[in-house]
Amino acid sequence: MPRGSTASALVATNVWEMMDTASEPEPDAGAGPDADDAVAGVEAGAELHAIRTAYPSLRWESVSRTDEGWDHVVIICRGCSGEDALGYADLVFRFPSDEQALAQLPTEIAVLEHLAPRIEAALPRYTHVSASAQPDKRLVPFAGYPMIHGERLTPDLLHSLPVTEQTIIATQLGSLLSALHVQDTSAPPMDLVAPSYQPENLDFVRGIVENNMPDVLAPDEMRTAREICDEVAALQSTLLPRVFVHYDIYQRHLYWDAGAAPAGRLGLIDFTDMCIGDPAIDFAELYEYGPRFVEDVLARYVGRIDPDFLDRAWTYQRLAGLYMLAGHMYYGEETWEYARSTFDRCRSPRRPRA
């Protein structure tokens, strides 16, 4: 679930002015194919020009652009070659699109470099941080890493797999969450990770609930929305465990590489929203796979578990569903149908059980 305070920063940072690369490149400038800079029907001239400027010998066979995420534009270069490719065939370049994501990127790079040798799952490990970057001044206009391979782990994909393979995924995810949650947050670079910004998220959602949602939600749905906000506020006033959390583990950030030896490999991307918070948060959006999968992952988790752990996870899942509605209404992110179906799936105050 993205940061709620992003709204105040959407109009902020012009990355290209920082890099002095705002002008469009000549058709044959820099590396890459001779094709136009229109990528998948969307203009990506500024991003491609930035990549070409930073990595002049990098070439690629194809390139795609996505702004599916809430706080980055992503350029994927496939079939890479040249000295600047560093031997990697497929590279993912992430361009922060708001101030908070821009400020977070240096910490994300450092944290992932720290985690990589400690985590068995596939995580992004940044190999391309441009010479114009100034991490000490919190300025990394963009950065790239070798693509995490596999299929996006959608609920449909998970449920189509044999039970034995689903068990392997649950085991790997339980191990991944355990490893993330035991990190020493008092030592560098983990000490750079910010406290949970869930209070900001809640303030943002409450504002949308009261000012915008009465026009589109029925009275009983408004009661549910307010109830969710009150339940999360009550948890925030409670003394709860605080660990390093990813904060946004759901189908768009989980990948499954079934062909990886010896029995497949899980991948997790997009650590922009990482923070110090309740470990139950990282179980919240796993409910989109169904309660049995959540319980299977928890059974393989070795972190601290208390009797209310999954109840809190479900409350956070309900907030995520409400946030989808708020995000659609304020940012125009997600479709109404997707946001609405997510909210409807999470409306019940009773945690679903296997």
Give pLDDT tens digits for 9-38: 332 333 333 333 333 333 333 444 444 444
List, in sequence order, every beta strand (DSSP E) within 36-189: 38-39, 42-43, 62-66, 72-78, 91-96, 128-129, 143-146, 151-152
Residue 43 has pLDDT above 90, yes or no: no
- Neighbouring residues of 81: CB distance < 8 A, sequence distance ≥ 6: 59, 60
Using 50, 70 and 90 to split pLDDT, how confident is the model at 253?
very high
pLDDT score, position 34: 43
Residue 251: exposure state from Cβ atoms within 10 A (0-12, 13-18, ≥19): middle
Residue 246 has pLDDT above 80, yes or no: yes
| Contact in structure between 60 and 90 (CB atoms under 8 Å) | no
Axis crossing angle, helix 309-331 with helix 291-299, rounded to the nearest 10: 130
Average pLDDT across the chain, whole number: 88
pLDDT score, position 46: 87
Q: 313 by DSSP, 3-state: which?
A: helix
pLDDT score, position 23: 31
pLDDT score, position 2: 62
Residue 176: exposure state from Cβ atoms within 10 A (0-12, 13-18, ≥19): buried
Residue 211 has pLDDT above 90, yes or no: yes
Residue 273 has pLDDT above 70, yes or no: yes
pLDDT tens-digit readout, 62-97:
999 987 767 899 999 999 999 999 999 999 999 998
Candidate CATH numbers 3.30.200.20, 3.50.50.60, 3.30.70.1230, 3.10.105.10; the one for domain 4-146: 3.30.200.20
pLDDT score, position 68: 73
| Contact in structure between 252 and 282 (CB atoms under 8 Å) | no
| Contact in structure between 347 and 326 (CB atoms under 8 Å) | no
Q: Among 34-38, 159-163, 236-240, 257-261, whose mean pLDDT is lowest? A: 34-38
Residues 147 and 287: their CA atoms lie apart, in Å, by: 26
For residues 233-247, average pLDDT: 97
- Torsion angles phi and psi, residue 248, rounded to 5: -145, 50
Percent of the chain with pLDDT strictly greater than 70: 84
Percent of the chain with pLDDT strictly greater than 90: 78
pLDDT score, position 337: 96
| Domain 151-345, classified CATH 3.90.1200.10, yes or no | yes
Give span(s): CATH 3.90.1200.10, the chain: 151-345
> CA 342, 344, 350, 353 torsion: positive or negative?
negative
pLDDT score, position 1: 67
pLDDT score, position 21: 32
- pTM over 0.75, yes/no: yes
Give span(s): CATH 3.30.200.20, the chain: 4-146
pLDDT score, position 3: 58
pLDDT score, position 25: 32
pLDDT score, position 333: 81
